[in-house]
Structures are given as structure tokens and as C-alpha cells.
Amino acid sequence: MIEVEQLTKHFGSKMAVDDLSFTVKKGEVLGFLGPNGAGKSTTMRMITGFIAPSSGEAKVCGISVIDDPTQAKTKIGYLPESAPLYADMTVTGFLKFCADVRGLRGTERKDAIERAIDTCFLSSVAHQSIDTLSKGYRHRTCLAQALLHDPEVLILDEPTDGLDPNQKHEVRQLIKNLGEKKAILFSTHILEEVDASCSRAVIVDRGRIVADGTPQELKERAPEGSLTELFRKLTTRDTDEAA
């Protein structure tokens, strides 16, 4: 469903993503782990066609994001980091607007909006103005727009960032449930997300993959079975070199 081959991105002299290759299959939830600045968001922006790679290839459902970005994007639901919202719209009004952009019309549009509201537990605030919502409900509204067209692939950038523990639990369970039928790639630097939501995880550091496996496989590589210690071991080279 997602195929990334030797994806590379540099901004001037800075190498943000360095020759990344991985796949995400249908029914798989891949956690994209790494410290801030590791290249997670840049990779996701390339896969979604938001920015062009310096080299390499990304395909979604067999469609090249580089050669046919418009068609590839029809297969993707994207939740960017700090996703924008129109604060003066109601939740339903915003989703209607997004559905129109997606080309949904008539009964299909109505059903898609109702399904997204139900899936993201937005019924109680559906007619509220977005500027009156808590951060958790705003986040769910952003996620709902990514689900409107029932995409085969979901790409979620820090989907639980800033949520309280209860909200995080709800979003993690939602991701896990959606992952039974879709291919999901989501980035995080919160290691507990791996056990909560992921069937597989990769750890990236300075734009390169430094570990790839199931949560159990990664723990078996770690000192005393601690994913936190493995993460620190693989992503603190700058600190070690400066010591």
C-alpha cells in the first residue's frame, strides 16, 4: 500500500532524509519513531506529495506520488502536524467544506460526514463553532477530515500530540481499529504508542532508519527489554560524540 524506495531530501547543505526505504501493507500500523528533527515529518510530506523529494520514489497503492500525485492523493487520508482549521466554522460545516473539496456529492457526501463524525466521536460537538472546542476535539475534527473519503492509506503526523491521557487512549484505539482494514503510517516520539497501536515500528535518526521490527522484536534488541533504552541507544549519537 505504501512503498518508499531510497527517498532522500536535502535543504541546501542539510540532509533531512537520507536514502529511506520501507513498506506498509494493508492491515499494518507502522509507527514512525524518532527524536525531534529526525526527518519524520519531512518523509510524510514527501509521501503525501506535499513536497518533492530530492531523489527516490514513493508509491501509494501502486501509484507514484511523483509521476501521478493527483491520483495518488485520492488514496490518502492525511493528518499533518498542527493541521489547520477554520475557527469560525462549525465541525459539521468544516467537514462539509472538506467533503466538497474531495468531490463528494449528495448522499455520498452526507453519509461520509456522518460516518466521520461517528468514527471520531464528534456527535456532541458537531454543531459547535471550532473556536469553542478543546484541543482534543479540534484534533479529532482534523482526523475526521482525513477519513471522509474512506481512504485506503492513512498518514498521521503526531496524531496524539498535546492530548490528555484519556484522549490519547481514544485516538490510539481508533488507529488500531482502523489499521485492521487500512495501511497506516503514523509518526510519534512517544514510545508507549508502539505497544498501544503498532503492529510494527521503525526508528529513524538523522534521516536514516536505525531499527525496524515488531514491538516485541525491538524489545528483544533492547537492554532489559526496554524500548526506551533501545531508542536512547540508537538516537543519542550526537550527545555521545560530544561527551
**Domain co-membership, 19 together with 135:** no
**Domain co-membership, 121 together with 163:** no
Confidence of residue 237 (pLDDT cuts 50, 70, 90): low
In a domain? residue 239? no
**Domain co-membership, 64 together with 12:** yes
C-alpha to C-alpha distance for 138 and 84, rounded to whole angstroms: 10
In a domain? residue 223? no
In a domain? residue 204? yes
**Domain co-membership, 201 together with 132:** no
pLDDT of 239 higher than 70: no
What is the per-residue pLDDT across 12-59, written as a single tens digit (0 to 9) for each? 999 999 999 999 999 999 999 998 889 999 999 999 999 999 999 999
pLDDT of residue 167: 81
CATH at residue 51: 3.40.50.300
**Domain co-membership, 46 together with 94:** no
In a domain? residue 21? yes
If you search the block for the grid coordinates 479540534, which residue do you land on? 138
**Domain co-membership, 142 together with 49:** no
Residue 25: how many CA atoms within 13 Å on its side-chain side? 3
Provide the domain count of the chain.
2
**Domain co-membership, 143 together with 196:** no
Report residue 154: phi and psi, to 5°: -115, 130
C-alpha to C-alpha distance for 173 and 34, rounded to whole angstroms: 21
pTM: 0.89
**Domain co-membership, 65 together with 124:** no
**Domain co-membership, 63 together with 16:** yes
In a domain? residue 98? yes
Q: Which domain holds residue 125?
A: 82-150
Confidence of residue 136 (pLDDT cuts 50, 70, 90): confident
**Domain co-membership, 60 together with 6:** yes
What is the per-residue pLDDT across 186-209, written as a single tens digit (0 to 9) for each? 998 788 888 888 999 999 999 999
What is each CA distance from 218 to 209, 211, 229, in whole angstroms? 13, 8, 11
In a domain? residue 175? no
Bigger pLDDT: 110 vs 196: 110
Q: What is the CB neighbour count within 10 angstroms for residue 107?
A: 8
**Domain co-membership, 53 together with 96:** no
**Domain co-membership, 160 together with 201:** yes
C-alpha to C-alpha distance for 31 and 216, rounded to whole angstroms: 13
